């Protein structure tokens, strides 16, 4: 997938531009980038379905949203359990007859090791969460996305999904798959109101980044809140017609 640079003609919604009436699903919503996106959507008036594996982290985010009067529900599910995802989609459909956006932000890093020494169980787990989970969640929610007058899917990718790197084995392979999945689905959805794009957030202050680079000073990278402009753009009507792109979050950050 060819990386798309920022177009200065694009309108980037600000943090005060409202999304009342919009419904969004965010996976990986208990921490990091997914958490920041979910909180931003809720602060701007959207109804958010928070999805993650661990209930405790979701409850903490839910408490924050309820504290400022936002609307959200929390769903704890393992994205590797694809049968349960069908039940989750049914439950979401009971709450929202249509949804305007899906953010696939859930991720698993896995061991940083050479492919030769990668355990098959770890390989499957990383592929399951990053690639198969992204596919499965998108697939089960597609009927609700198609019902909306506009809908946007944002898949979190990574630099390792655009250029292979030693020691990143399963994670890199999964993110390459996410890029391909995004492009394929964009072509299949080109005559609908559903668009789909992949975003490389770049180095960001997250727990996953710290695990991958334990010797790196965290404050050298921006916190998730500073890379929100690209998600505000993609998760709004402003990005209609933008689909099948490989985008970089840093290109959307104010200078």
Is 171 designated active site?
yes
Q: Output the 3-class SS for the chain.
A: CCECCCCCCCCCCCCCCCCCCCEEEEECCCCHHHHHHHHHHHHCCCEEEEEECCHHHHHHHHHHHHHCCCEEEEEECCCCCHHHHHHHHHHHHHHCCCCCEEEECCCCCCCCCCHHHCCHHHHHHHHHHHHHHHHHHHHHHHHHHHHCCCEEEEEECCHHHCCCCCCCHHHHHHHHHHHHHHHHHHHHCCCCCEEEEEEECCCCCCHHHHHHCCCCCHHHCCCHHHHCHHHHHHCCHHHCCCCCCEEEHHHHCCC
Q: Which of 171, 176, 231, 252 is catalytic?
A: 171
Half-sphere exposure of 61 (CA within 13 A, CB side): 34
- Cα–Cα distance measured from residue 251 to residue 201, given in angstroms and rounded to the nearest whole number: 10
First-last CA distance in the chain: 26
The residues assigned a catalytic role are 171
């Amino acid at each position: 997938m060819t990386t798309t640079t920022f177009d200065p003609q694009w309108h980037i919604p600000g943090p005060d531009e409202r999304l009342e009436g919009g419904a969004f699903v965010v996976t990986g919503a208990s921490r990091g980038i997914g958490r920041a996106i979910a909180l931003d959507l809720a602060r701007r008036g959207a109804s958010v379905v928070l999805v993650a594996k661990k209930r405790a982290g979701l409850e903490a985010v839910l408490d924050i949203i309820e504290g400022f009067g936002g609307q959200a529900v929390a769903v704890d599910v393992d994205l590797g359990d694809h049968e349960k995802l069908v039940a989750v989609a049914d439950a979401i459909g009971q709450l929202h007859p249509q949804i305007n956006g899906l953010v696939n932000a859930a991720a698993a890093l896995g061991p940083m090791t050479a492919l030769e020494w990668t355990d098959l169980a770890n390989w499957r787990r990383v592929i399951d969460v990053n690639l198969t989970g992204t596919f499965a969640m998108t697939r089960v929610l597609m009927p609700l996305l198609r019902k909306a007058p506009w809908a946007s899917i944002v898949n979190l990718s990574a630099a390792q999904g655009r250029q292979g790197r030693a020691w990143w084995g399963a994670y890199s392979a999964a993110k390459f798959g996410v890029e391909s999945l995004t492009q394929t689905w964009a072509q299949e959805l080109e005559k609908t109101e559903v668009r789909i794009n992949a975003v490389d957030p770049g180095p960001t202050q997250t727990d996953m980044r710290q695990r991958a680079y334990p010797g790196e000073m965290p404050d050298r990278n921006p916190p998730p809140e500073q890379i929100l402009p690209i998600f505000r753009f993609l998760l709004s009507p402003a990005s209609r017609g933008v689909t099948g792109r490989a985008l970089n979050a840093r290109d959307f950050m104010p200078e």
